[in-house]
Chains A and B, each alone.
Chain A
Amino acid sequence: MNNLLSRHAESIFWLARQVERANSTARILDVNESFSRSPRGEHDWQSVLRLYADEESFRATGREPSADAVIHFYILDGDNPNSVLSNIRMARENARALRPLISTEMWVQLNGFHKWISRLRRPDLRVENLNRLCSHIKESCQTHSGITAETLYRDESWYFHQLGRAIERADQTTRLVDVKYQVLLPEPSDVGSPIDEAQWNTVLRSAAGFHAFRRVNPNSMSPSSVVNFLVFDPRFPRSVAASVLTANEHLNGIRIKYGHGSKHGASRLLRELAAELAEDTAADLIARGLHEGLDSIQAQLAGVTSALGTEFFLLA
């Protein structure tokens, strides 16, 4: 039986992350656009830059952080590794290298997605078109997931794909909560006001969790309950906790089904993170310092990725 090439494992892991990242980016831009309609929103395009720690790279473009400029930066700027174009371009190159393993439909869809993005021009990115544009991006990303689920053979490559997607999701959610929370640190006079609620709605919508949250918390909307939902609630699929559990499940699958990887490498790091998330609460996290706490989770996820590299992708 032939094992999965390290290079292929690495490619499909990153392909999943790249599509998920594009998905998140589109979602965040879309929600931001709605949010920035409110009077207090003039600065909020900058919050997107903060979310991805892109303030410096954006400054290098020499432009002002207007809506148009930031939207272009995150959708079409080929020099920005966090743009949708960059991510889908890399995903497509990974897919090309993975041709022997993936179905033709997977390839054709990503190829078509890339072609569509690379044909966009500035007029297509005007703020009034943003909603339609982001919907298309999100749909394409979802189509990719769908085709993958339907056609990718359930061998080791499937596990690496799902693992990549889950880790990226966890990471994206921590960033979202972190930035929004800082921006939205309410003035005492704002607490409970319509503006305050609108802001939290935005955070939840960015994570596609607005309706689910309302079902779970029909009466209250507080910083703490939103953080709890997005970070700790294992029932919400996009929460940090749920994503980490999914990632752990897939990494275990690789070990148990294929006998690859060790219990003590990336697996241990993920297990520890999952355990922490299971035991902690939003109130404690906020009390200790939300930003530091989320930073720490991101660092741990980066540690997991690095450990995966050593264990599976990089052999001397």
Chain B
Amino acid sequence: MDPDRRRSLMVNLSVLGIASAIAIPYLPAGAEFRRNLYRDRESCIRDYSADQCERPQNGAGSGGGAHGGGLWRGPRYYSDRSLPEARSDPGAGRLGLASGNETSIRGGFGRVGRALRAVG
């Protein structure tokens, strides 16, 4: 590097410009989500559709449910089916073929930031 140079030689960006396309869903604080686990892809597809089923990567699928990695996973849906937000999610599956499920909780971060932004 030129010892006299005080600025970056080049400032190229690659991913900017898509930022405004990010949509932030509303997540109730402490919302619990569930994903169904399936022994095979066919069962998952019968409950959902092919593009909603995925095989977890190594290290994933190790959640609070009874079954670990290696199983096919359906889409995320609200555990509490009475929530208004649950009306537009994929739900618990058409036929109930899941061999288990895993749960996660969201909304445990972000409360302070949103509250301060709301008043600021």
Q: Is the A/B pair a real complex?
A: no
Residues of chain A touching chain B, judged by Cβ–Cβ distance below 8 Å, are none
Residues of chain B touching chain A, judged by Cβ–Cβ distance below 8 Å, are none
